[in-house]
Amino acid sequence: EDTRASFTSHLYAALQNAGIFVFKDDESLPRGRQISPSLRLAIEQSRISVVVFSKNYAESWWCLKELEKIMECHRTIGRVVL
């Protein structure tokens, strides 16, 4: 079950309402064999990454590639991951 239309959208709105700049991966981002440059840059420039695990998260190649990049930033430049 995708969480974009439920929990994730509510979390996104709450963070924005609190004045926090939020980047949310969405369906309009191009998908390919690698993470797009815009998504890679957003991950690298984020001070905190919030990963929302859905029921089928681990079955998504795309989600796992994003998580791999997030964890790389955590290890190499100390980014916070929630």
Instruction: Summarize the confidence of residues 5-23 as an average pLDDT.
Output: 89
Instruction: Summarize the confidence of residues 9-22 as an average pLDDT.
Output: 93
**The CATH number of the domain where 64 resides is what?**
3.40.50.10140
Query: How far apart, in whole angstroms, are the C-alpha atoms of residue 62 and residue 68?
Result: 10
Which is it for the CA torsion 18, 30, 4, 60, positive or negative?
negative
- Domain membership of residue 64 (yes or no) is yes
Instruction: Give percent of the chain with pLDDT exceeding 70.
Output: 84
For residue range 35-62, list pLDDT tens digits in order. Answer: 788 889 999 999 999 999 988 889 988 8
| Model confidence at 66: pLDDT above 90 | yes
Task: Output the pTM of the full model.
Answer: 0.81
- Domain membership of residue 62 (yes or no) is yes
- Domain membership of residue 42 (yes or no) is yes
Nearest to 73 by CA among 37, 40, 31: 40
Residue 20 binned pLDDT confidence (cut-offs 50, 70, 90): very high
Residue positions annotated with a catalytic role: 66
Instruction: Summarize the confidence of residues 18-25 as an average pLDDT.
Output: 87
- Domain membership of residue 2 (yes or no) is no
Measured torsion, CA atoms of residues 14, 28, 23, 65, in degrees rounded to the nearest 10? 120
The parent domain of residue 49 ranges over 7-81
The number of folded domains in the chain is 1
